[in-house]
Structure 1
Amino acid sequence: MKNQSFLFYSRCLLAALAIAGTALEIIKYGIGMLMYYTVQSNLLVSVFAVYMVYAMTKGTDLQTSKFLRIKAAVTMSILITCVVYHFMLAPLADDFWRLENLLCHYIVPLYFLLDTLLVDRQRQYKWFDPIWWTALPLFYMVFGLINGFFIKIPIPDAKDSPFAYFFLNVPKYGWPYVLTYAGTIFVAYLLVGFFLFFVKSWRAKRVGANQPTP
């Protein structure tokens, strides 16, 4: 019971932090911030975390295989926000120490990852799950290119607007450059997805080995 209470309040805090980061981005810089993958993925986590809190108040089982496989997809979608930003965008940032920046790129992604690693049951994923987990960033990449070429919705504080990120700016850098970056991100995403899969499988074997024989 105490563990469940701690988990409930932990997820309340997760939801509050995700909502705060997303709201600060939009309130301070405008609705156009929703064009960024960062804000979209944090909004997804906000909705998902609120659902988890609501489901816990209703006694809904959040340890079913179907739910945990969907949650893993959300975990990967927010984790790539942290990874891409830290290695590709943070070195170029001149306003790094903003609360909303830290919330959206580090605190919320790592918090959600810890929830997945420490709370979820083991061995709930299928071997092909890391492949379909790539659907969200692939969809965003297509969306970002369509906006850059055709819709042209302006993006706040983006030097490459209407492209959200420099590595999507085909007119400026060319297709080989964009496809190289896209391929690198895709492969990294896939590898991290399989890493998550194997970590959960390894923990399942370890937990099973440590359980007493009846």
Structure 2
Amino acid sequence: MSKTQSYRLVAGLAGVIGVSMQIAKDGWGMLLYYTVLSNILVFGFMFYLVYAEFKDGSVNNHRTLLRIKGGVMMCITLTFLVYHFMLGPRVAPADFWNVRNFLVHYIAPLAMIVDTLMFDRRRSYDRLDPIKWMSVPIAYLIFAIINGQWLKLAIPGAVDSPYPYYFLNIDKYGVQPVVIYCVVIAIAYALLGYVLMGLKTYIGTKNN
């Protein structure tokens, strides 16, 4: 097993542990959080990369896979940034300073970011990839609004349940503030995607 595979295996296992701890504490309703879903996406992808390298050699030979991986990294980066700057400051110290919280909000995202920046081949993305990478967060946003307005599935531990996050609570804040939050996050997300594309021009494994 290569060093890269070992890194991805450990990162994936850390993600499994983090998600398992979240579900063990608060139940399967945790699957309604973007945080948990993005962590599942990441550890599933990490395990797939380990398998793909065993089967076909370096994943850097598969540009399409690297482009998809860029989108996966952006999904979990959103988890990290939104939590660190918008949600983390609002939670009680006991809910912040614990292993399960750090695993899903910090360790998994940072492990994926480091993996993508350092191990992936340079210049692997297409010009419109950062826009395409927005599809997963947008799909979750649509689901979250539908749940908050009509499905009413309870979100464990969420003060704004059936909305998972306060900035999506249309009933409490109204449509306009929610739209503004979402537009600002979407613009920042797209810009960050292009920052990643720029960084990957200079950082990572050199093209053959």
Scaled by the length of structure 2, the TM-score of the pair is 0.94
Which residue, out of 75, 89, 96, partners 1:91? 89
Cα distance in 2, alignment partners of residues 39 and 102 from structure 1:
12
Identity %: 43
Q: Write out per-residue CA displacement over residues 110-142 of structure 1, whole angstroms, 9 at most, x where no aligned residue.
A: 111100000000111001100011111111100
Deviations 1:194-214 (A, max 9, x none): 00001112348x968xx9xxx
The offset of 1:189, in angstroms, is 0.5
Select the residue among 19, 22, 27 that pairs with 2:19. Answer: 22
The equivalent position to 1:62 in structure 2, one of 55, 59, 62, is 59
Q: 1:201 aligns to what SS in structure 2?
A: coil
- Which structure has more relative contact order (CA 8 Å, sep 6+)? It is 2
Q: Quick check: 1:47 aligned with 2:29? A: no
- 1:173-212 aligned within 5 A: 173-203=173-203
CA contact (8 A) 2:130 2:190 kept: yes
Report how many aligned residue pairs link the two structures. Answer: 205
Structure 2: tracts of 5 or more residues without a match: none
State the 1:29 CA deviation. Answer: 0.7
Which amino acid is 1:167 matched to?
F
Structure 1 gaps of 5+ residues are none
RMSD: 1.7
For residue 75 of structure 2, what is the aligned residue in structure 1?
Answer: 77
**Could you report, residue by residue, the CA deviation over 1:134-180 in whole angstroms, capped at 9, with x for unpaired residues?**
11111110000000111111010000000000011001100111011
1:107, distance to aligned residue in structure 2 (A): 0.6
TM-score calculated relative to the size of structure 1: 0.92
Corresponding residue SS for 1:126: coil
* Distance in 1 (alpha carbons) for counterparts of 2:136 and 2:69: 13
Q: Matches of 2:155 and 2:112 in 1, distance apart?
A: 27
What is the CA distance between 1:60 and its match in structure 2?
4.0
Larger radius of gyration: 1
Equivalent position SS for 2:124: coil
Aligned to 1:102: 102
For 1:151 and 1:58, the matched residues in 2 are separated by 42
Residue 31 of structure 1: aligned partner:
28
Instruction: Say yes or no: does 1:12 pair with 2:37.
Output: no
What is the deviation of 1:15?
Answer: 0.8
Q: Segments of 4+ in structure 1 off by > 6 A? A: none
> Are the equivalent residues in 1 in contact too, given 2:117–2:203 (CA < 8 A)?
no
Tell me the CA shift for residue 52 of structure 1: 1.2
